[in-house]
Chain A
Amino acid sequence: MMAVFALLAAVVFGAVAKDTNKERVLYGLKIFGEFIIIGLALAWLLYFIPF
């Protein structure tokens, strides 16, 4: 679900930003990767918090 969320957000973020298609694709991939990495990092961080 988190990956689907990241994909949907990355598609729109990538489409509205930048000027060329190549830049848009790269930006979308960057956003997708950032969502996934930050999501996993937060999940692990919260896993160790006992409340």
Chain B
Amino acid sequence: MSKDDNTELSRQTSSSRDWLIGVAGWFFPGAGHLIQGNWWRALLMGGTVWIAFVAGIMMGGRLFRYSGTEEGMSSLLQIPPMIANLGAGLLYPASWLIGVGFTDDPQLAARATFEYGTTFLLIAGLLNYLCMLDAFDISAGRKP
């Protein structure tokens, strides 16, 4: 094995610190880049996720969860959007704890911004998955 191969291998092997940064980035949007001292990136990417999530909640959006109480296959249909929502990390259980976003309130559902809010909540989680992977890759040396 040549020196170049060894360098390449060490670059591809991720340490526990990289995983910790990835998990931190998922749990608290922006934290993955913040730990690495990448303030601008943390502010830009983490801020985007926070803005999308808070805007989604303010628009009356709904967070998905698997309850198992729906009839037939309806319960299973809750799982993919729930995975998207879970991407927001801490914000998902925090919303559950304070009782925001999980209520099946017909008045909220009747709002003109309800669908937009739900979509914003979904993209907040999905964008945070991207941020988490970005923070992990930078920490592992796979990205500049």
Chain A residues engaging chain B, CB cutoff 8 angstroms: 1, 4-5, 8-9, 11-13, 15-16, 19
Query: A2 — nearest CB in chain B belongs to which residue?
Result: B116
A1-B58 Cα distance, complex, nearest whole Å:
13
Determine how close the nearest CB of chain A comes to the CB of B21; give it in whole angstroms. 15
A12 close to B55 (CB less than 8 A): no
CB of B64 within 8 Å of the partner chain: no
Q: A8-B48, A11-B45, A19-B144 are in contact. Are A1 and B131 (CB under 8 A)?
A: no
A16 close to B134 (CB less than 8 A): yes
CB of B120 within 8 Å of the partner chain: yes
User: Per a CB cutoff under 8 Å, which of B41, B45, B49, B119 touches A5?
Assistant: B119
A8-B123 Cα distance, complex, nearest whole Å:
9
Chain B interface bracket (under 10, 10 to 19, 20 to 34, 35 or more): 10 to 19
Determine how close the nearest CB of chain B comes to the CB of A10; give it in whole angstroms. 9
Query: B116 — nearest CB in chain A belongs to which residue?
Result: A1
A sample of 30 inter-chain contacts (CB < 8 A) reads A1-B113, A1-B116, A4-B55, A5-B116, A5-B119, A5-B120, A5-B123, A8-B48, A8-B51, A8-B52, A8-B127, A9-B127, A11-B44, A11-B45, A11-B48, A12-B45, A12-B48, A12-B49, A12-B127, A12-B130, A12-B131, A13-B130, A15-B41, A15-B44, A15-B134, A16-B130, A16-B131, A16-B133, A16-B134, A19-B144
